[in-house]
Amino acid sequence: MSRVRALAAALAAGAIVSVGLATPAVATPDRDPLAHLTANQIAARAEADLVAATSVHVFSSVSVKGKIRTVINVTITRKACAGSFGLALYGSEQFIQVGKLEWVLLTKPLLAKAGYSKAQIARYAGKWAEASTSSAPLGYISCTSASLKSGLPSAGWTKGGVANVAGHRAVELSNRKKRITAWVSDSSRPEFLKAGSGGAWTILSRYNARVRISPPPARDVVSLPPPPGL
């Protein structure tokens, strides 16, 4: 089954998630802690901070015919993640991943697209199916902070001006070769706040917030037979 893939929390329904606020690292207006760094050095620090973060929230959207469509809405921790991936044909797919185990929320459009019968759809809709391998009927999503970093170039950045992004003072970085623009918090510990190009943007927030993601209740987990044709 195809999925939209992009650099990335309406968190998945049924996931047990608790979030505590973390204090963002934001520069005060009367100083510029990144002035002595090159654009590539700033990007490298922000990438390292992203990988080291205990948690981060990722929201990615794309503009399609003048309408904003959510692609990714996920909270990622070091050992778990939960949220939703936008799917072009039938809304979104909500999931919970804890360690190597993953569960997908079964919805009527998702089951119908996968080829299940009306009787099966009535039986399974609203339940969670384990999808912990790439051969699972509904696929397998892998989300880590390292995978976010892989979508960012390591060199070729140039520094732009300073702007306010989501209430944070941020430095603009541009990469002409990759056609990516990013905004990084103007702080001693720079963090990527926004990145993208054209009508596709990813917003990163809630770095190092206290987050706990738990599996769905056992009573709501079901085993699915392969859909017709598999």
Q: What b/e readout covers 201-225, taking b as 16+ CB neighbours within 10 angstroms? A: bbbbbbbbbebebebbeeeeeeebe
92, 90, 91: which is closest to 82 by C-alpha?
Answer: 92
Number of domains, the chain = 1
Domain that holds residue 69: 16-214
**Chain-centre distance for alpha carbon 177:** 24
Determine the pLDDT at residue 143. Answer: 74
* pLDDT mean over 117-123: 92
**What tokens does 117 get?**
């019968």
What confidence score (pLDDT) does residue 71 get? Answer: 86
Residue 64 pLDDT class (50, 70, 90 cuts)? confident
Instruction: Say if 11 falls within a structural domain.
Output: no
The pLDDT mean for the chain works out to 79
pTM to 2 decimals? 0.78
Report the CATH number that the domain containing residue 122 is assigned in CATH: 2.50.20.20
Residue 224's pLDDT band, with cuts at 50, 70 and 90, is: confident
Does residue 159 lie in a domain region? Answer: yes
pLDDT tens, residue by residue, 152-210 = 888 999 999 999 998 889 999 999 988 999 999 999 899 999 998 877 889 999 999 99
Does residue 3 sit within a domain? no
